[in-house]
């Protein structure tokens, strides 16, 4: 029985591995850096199977899917966690950057779900790491936010389609990882409601076991989700932009 974790070398990925390590026989740790993957194997032990793949490259995503199809592992957990973000207006992104973000954040996760489903049985889990930014449109992280909204919607539908396999969209707010820059123009950036990765993963696993299709780990972001349902998004976007404008 295995777990597949993408973005395994990132802060949230490492925490998923730590939490799932004792539950499975091996973990396919998917990453693009040989060196970082070797570091993971040293850190956690010989259950770590290094799987090198750059998920911005369609051929490498498909080759990972083919590996699943040919090895036919019994998959207990699929954790689609790899993701990238950048705060800037869409007009400042190159076409290649946009394409990479959509491939890593959405295409890879979607194809891996499809490739893994035949090898999952009742009691298996798909955890797709989305974000609280999926709850509303967010100018200046428009691409990231929209990519996570896709993942949230896709995961919830997948959960209904697949009896016995729980599919959970993990939607944290700010998490203290290397994804978040600490300073902007020499000014310390404030991240309201920021939590550590272990809180996100504990809640995600707990919520998945309860059969929930969405996991939001803190009261603060559950409240933000509630607001996104009752407040006009036009107003929410105004508030968001006024909160981040000093960093633009
Ligand atoms: N931090 C937050 O505030 C926050 C909030 C909500 C949701 N999330 C989501 O949480 C997930 C994990 O992020 P994190 O905070 O743990 O950040 P992180 O430490 O930067 O981890 C990102 C992971 O994605 C991998 N990755 C990036 N580009 C890749 C590519 N082309 N091919 C394969 N893997 C690639 C990275 O690999 P390398 O190690 O090689 O760079 C790393 O393992 C992401 O999906 C993110 O959107 C984060």
Select which of 77, 125, 144, 221 is catalytic. 144
CA of 10 to the centre of ligand 1 (A): 6
Q: From 16, 183, 2, select the one nearest 83 (Cα to Cα).
A: 16
User: What pLDDT score was predicted for residue 245?
Assistant: 86
Look up the pTM and report it.
0.97
Superfamily of domain 2-247: NAD(P)-binding Rossmann-like Domain (3.40.50.720)
The pLDDT of residue 185 is above 90: no
How far is the C-alpha of 226 from the C-alpha of 135, rounded, in Å?
A: 9
Instruction: Answer yes or no: are the C-beta atoms of 208 and 125 closer than 8 Å.
Output: yes
pLDDT tens, residue by residue, 133-169: 999 999 999 999 999 999 999 999 999 999 999 999 9
* Residue 10: partners with Cβ closer than 8 Å, 6 or more residues away: 81, 82, 177, 178, 179
Q: From 235, 230, 228, select the one nearest 132 (Cα to Cα).
A: 228
pLDDT tens, residue by residue, 9-56: 999 999 999 999 999 999 999 999 999 999 999 999 999 999 999 999
User: What pLDDT score was predicted for residue 248?
Assistant: 79
77 is catalytic: no
- Where does ligand 1 bind, in terms of residues with CB under 6 Å? 7, 9-13, 31-33, 36, 54-56, 81-85, 104, 129, 131, 172, 174-175, 177-180
């Amino acid at each position: 029985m295995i777990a597949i974790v993408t973005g395994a070398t990132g802060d949230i990925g490492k925490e998923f591995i730590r939490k799932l390590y004792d539950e499975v026989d091996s973990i396919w740790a998917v990453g693009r850096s040989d060196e970082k993957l070797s570091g993971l194997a040293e850190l956690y032990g010989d259950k770590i199977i290094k799987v090198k793949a750059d998920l911005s490259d369609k051929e490498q995503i498909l080759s990972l899917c083919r590996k699943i199809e040919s090895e036919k592992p019994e998959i207990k957990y699929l954790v689609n966690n790899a993701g990238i973000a950048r705060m800037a207006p869409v007009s400042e992104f190159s076409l290649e950057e946009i394409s990479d973000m959509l491939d890593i954040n959405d295409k890879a996760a979607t194809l891996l779900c499809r490739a893994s489903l035949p090898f999952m049985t009742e009691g298996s889990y798909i955890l797709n790491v989305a974000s609280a930014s999926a709850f509303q449109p967010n100018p200046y992280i428009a691409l990231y936010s929209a990519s996570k909204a896709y993942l949230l919607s896709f995961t919830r539908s997948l959960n209904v389609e697949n009896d016995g396999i729980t599919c959970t969209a993990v939607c944290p707010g700010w998490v203290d990882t290397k994804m978040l820059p600490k300073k902007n123009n020499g000014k310390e950036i404030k991240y309201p409601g920021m939590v550590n990765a272990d809180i996100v993963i504990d809640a995600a696993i707990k919520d998945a076991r309860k059969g929930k299709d969405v996991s939001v780990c803190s009261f603060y972001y559950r409240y933000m989700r509630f607001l996104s349902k009752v407040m006009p998004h036009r107003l929410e976007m105004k508030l968001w932009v006024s909160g981040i404008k000093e960093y633009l």
